[in-house]
Structure 1
Amino acid sequence: MTAVHIAGAGMVRFGKYDPAVTFEKLAVEAARNALRDAGAHRRDIEAVFVGHVFGGPVAGQRVATELGLGGRPVSNHENYCASGATALREAWMAIRAGLCDVALVIGAEKMTDRIKGGVTPDANDLDAQQGYVMTAGHALSARRYMHDHGATREQIAMVAVKNHAHSRHNPYAQYQRPVTLDEVVNARRIADPLGLLDCSPISDGAAAAVVCSATGLKRLGLPTDRPEVRAIGLVSGTLRAGLGDINEEDISRRAGLQAYDMAGIAPEDIDLVEMHDCFTIAEIVRLEGLGLVPKGQGAAWTAQGRTSIGGALPVNPSGGLLSRGHPVGATGMAQVCELYWQLTGQAGQRQVDGARLGLAYCKGGTVSGTDGASVTTVVMSS
């Protein structure tokens, strides 16, 4: 199969933008940054893939038109938080199939003028009808994890402390200041035991990448050693009966195995992880589900610094969703941008030494009666 490379990456800073800054403006700026980084022109782009959740009908076509890419094949991809990575997967498959050599992938979202309060499942979903918001589910997850594994509230809170420490050095992060353990533990309670700083914020933002085959890289005049997208796993939740284990994370296990098998690697080969830490506890249980951390030890690993930059397995050197921000459709591509910068040695003070193989994980949405809606796992190598 044709190898697929990231030729260039671009973002806008995540945050809360004025209503005058539209979805299209955010997406266009990120795309132009990626095109500039790759040395690509509009004429080079053969297809456009756009991930978003709240962008509205044909959002990708609206963005492509503003970019001067009208007439190209444009597709829109919605898999909740995994939307951006799902768009990348579609571009990856198109290039591997020989349908194009140079594609533009964009993940974008404008949430602050659309979302008020907690994010809920679809109104027709049984969980939503019972008022089961995302925060409640993760609060139950944290309580169960603490009970089952003897983890402390402080250990779980250390995920936020770590990720905010990392984000100080990320110019694209929504929050760029460290927080203390006391600040996290004593923050306004949202769903016990989780407080405000255990939860990712409502954000606006966009991230993009130019994706190429070897032929596409040659066309752009680039060397063939650009980071390669080795694998992209995509799985959905399976039906569950009975009470089960809220922290089993079988969906993460299946997504991880799919990517590991496709890339021909083992979990211990991974040098760094961009993890979907929508809540502090989510980072912990998903790392365990992927087989990257032994079950029941994720909280302790965090508190011991093993998932910090300089530790055994750096997780979220970008700052993650907790501090980089979480514009849901953009998150998957923001993770890909971070892996690209890490694997090309462009991450500055948040650089992971010796980074050669990275994994990005996104879990998007819930469906009542299943263990999740969608999970993507992206494996990239230098």
Structure 2
Amino acid sequence: MNDVNIIGAGLSKFGRQPGTSGRQMAVTAIGAALDDAGISWPDVQVAFGGSDGAGLADTLVAELGFTGIPFTNVKNGCATGGSALVSAVNAIRSGAADIALAVGFDKHPRGAFDPIPAEWGLDDGYGDAGLMVTTQFFGSKIARYMGVHGITPPTLAKVAEKAYRNGALNPNAWRREPMTADEIAGAAMVNDPLTRYMFCSPGEGGAAVVVASAEATRRLGARGVQVRAISHRTRRFGSFEVFSPAVQGTGEPVSVTADAATAAFEQAGIAPGDVDVAQLQDTESGAEIMHMAECGFCEHGAQEQWIAEGRTEIGGVFPVNTDGGCIANGEPIGASGLRQIHEIVTQLRGDGGDRQVPGAPKVGFTHVYGAPGISACTVLTV
């Protein structure tokens, strides 16, 4: 299997940016990624990218340059960025290109996401019943999980508290004001047990990543971070997912996150315990908690003790969402997965500044989860 390295990663600012379109944020992120890689747009041989509602990624060539390369649009919900990266990596692995780019971007209006049932293979009655409201799904999923595994409400607030504290150290984050766990727990309830500040908000931003073959990395003299593994999975029967919130079959629901993470670790030939820093999808506080166990980093129910002991803090033994995650950055759907990659690359290079994980981390992990049950994971190493 051909080695693939990330040689460039770039972001726009995240958060409300009046007067700046999602396309402009994408172009900013791509420019930053190209500069980081030490190349220009004509050096890119193939590209993949997408957004949920800010336009078609392939049309960015109007601003980037008409070089004639293949540019494929990707739309996989919150896993859009991760899926674009899968495609870019596979293009390098196959020998179709030496240098490829993945980009994700979005610019969502204020308020909750408003998906259309027909676009998800559902009839209008599903929406009429309120089952398209994502906050309701996440509330019910974490409530069930807490009951089964003994997680208490204060732990939800501690996860969000960490997110805002880390976001305050991230110059690109949207939410840069720390909040206490008491403030978070005492905020207005959205869907029990999740309060307002335990959720991420639909947001704005762009992220881009340049990947290259080992030969191109050497030729360019780039600071490569190796893509040790990358996986992408859809739901199996018996899963409990956004827009499909039912426990089917017998026993515990299966997990698309667990499937994607297991595949990534098997491909990488390492264990979850080898990871030094991780980015886990945190659409809300409960998601980060559940994904810690679903990705194999701890036993179900152990998260409460881990968080109480500070293990997931920047200075802990297993730092999670060092850039503030979705809670502090918001969720521009197309960009989130590649924002995670940018943060892990930053950490593995030792460029995290005030939020740098101590001890020169060598192995990083990213995980995205999207509706209606799709996940992408990576293992990155230096």
CA contact (8 A) 2:247 2:253 kept: no
C-alpha distance in 1 between matches for 2:164 and 2:92: 36
C-alpha distance in 2 between matches for 1:166 and 1:148: 29
Cα 1:243–1:60 shift into 2, 3 Å: closer
CA contact (8 A) 1:167 1:323 kept: yes
Matched with 1:22 is 21
What is the SS of the residue equivalent to 2:334? helix
CA contact (8 A) 2:199 2:284 kept: yes
Q: Please list, as runs of the form range in 1=range in 2, the aligned pairs for 1:302-341 lying within 5 A after superposition.
A: 302-341=307-346
CA contact (8 A) 1:363 1:375 kept: yes
Question: Which of 74, 79, 84 matches 2:76?
Answer: 79
Cα 1:27–1:311 shift into 2, 3 Å: same
Identity, % of aligned pairs? Answer: 34
Question: Is 1:273–2:278 an aligned residue pair?
Answer: yes
CA contact (8 A) 2:157 2:182 kept: no
Matched with 1:54 is 53
- Opposite residue 183 of structure 2, the aligned amino acid is E
Q: How many angstroms does 1:121 deviate by?
A: 6.2
The count of residues paired between Structure 1 and Structure 2 equals: 369
C-alpha distance in 2 between matches for 1:118 and 1:40: 37
Deviates more, 1:193-202 or 1:213-222: 213-222
What is the SS of the residue equivalent to 1:177? coil
Matched with 1:232 is 230
- Opposite residue 108 of structure 2, the aligned amino acid is M
Question: Is 1:357–2:363 an aligned residue pair?
Answer: yes
Q: Please list, as runs of the form range in 1=range in 2, the aligned pairs for 1:247-286 lying within 5 A after superposition.
A: 248=253, 250-286=255-291
What is the SS of the residue equivalent to 1:131? coil
Question: Which of 54, 62, 67 matches 1:65?
Answer: 62
C-alpha distance after superposition, 1:125-166 (max 9, x if no partner): 255353111111111122223322332211111110011111
C-alpha distance in 1 between matches for 2:269 and 2:232: 16
Cα 1:25–1:190 shift into 2, 3 Å: same
C-alpha distance in 2 between matches for 1:346 and 1:158: 26
C-alpha distance after superposition, 1:6-64 (max 9, x if no partner): 1111101100121x3112111001100111111101221111111322234xx122212
Structure 2 gap ranges (5+)? 240-245
Deviates more, 1:242-251 or 1:2-11: 242-251
Q: How many angstroms does 1:312 deviate by?
A: 1.7
C-alpha distance in 2 between matches for 1:320 and 1:249: 25
Matched with 1:31 is 30
C-alpha distance in 2 between matches for 1:81 and 1:301: 27
Question: Is 1:93–2:90 an aligned residue pair?
Answer: yes
C-alpha distance in 2 between matches for 1:310 and 1:301: 13
Structure 1 length as normaliser, TM-score? 0.92
Q: How many angstroms does 1:216 deviate by?
A: 1.8
Cα 1:246–1:329 shift into 2, 3 Å: farther
**CA RMSD for the aligned pairs?**
1.9
Structure 2 length as normaliser, TM-score? 0.92
What is the SS of the residue equivalent to 1:329? coil
Structure 1 gap ranges (5+)? 367-371
Cα 1:191–1:121 shift into 2, 3 Å: farther
C-alpha distance in 2 between matches for 1:5 and 1:250: 29
Matched with 1:207 is 207
Question: Which of 111, 117, 120 matches 1:122?
Answer: 117
- Opposite residue 300 of structure 1, the aligned amino acid is Q
What is the SS of the residue equivalent to 2:42? helix
Q: How many angstroms does 1:357 deviate by?
A: 0.5
Cα 1:121–1:207 shift into 2, 3 Å: same
CA contact (8 A) 1:357 1:381 kept: yes
Structure 1 runs of 4+ aligned residues shifted over 6 Å read: none
C-alpha distance in 1 between matches for 2:227 and 2:36: 17
C-alpha distance after superposition, 1:272-306 (max 9, x if no partner): 11010001000011111111111111133223211
Matched with 2:247 is 243
C-alpha distance after superposition, 1:202-248 (max 9, x if no partner): 101001111111222234343xx511011111110112397358974
What is the SS of the residue equivalent to 2:2? coil
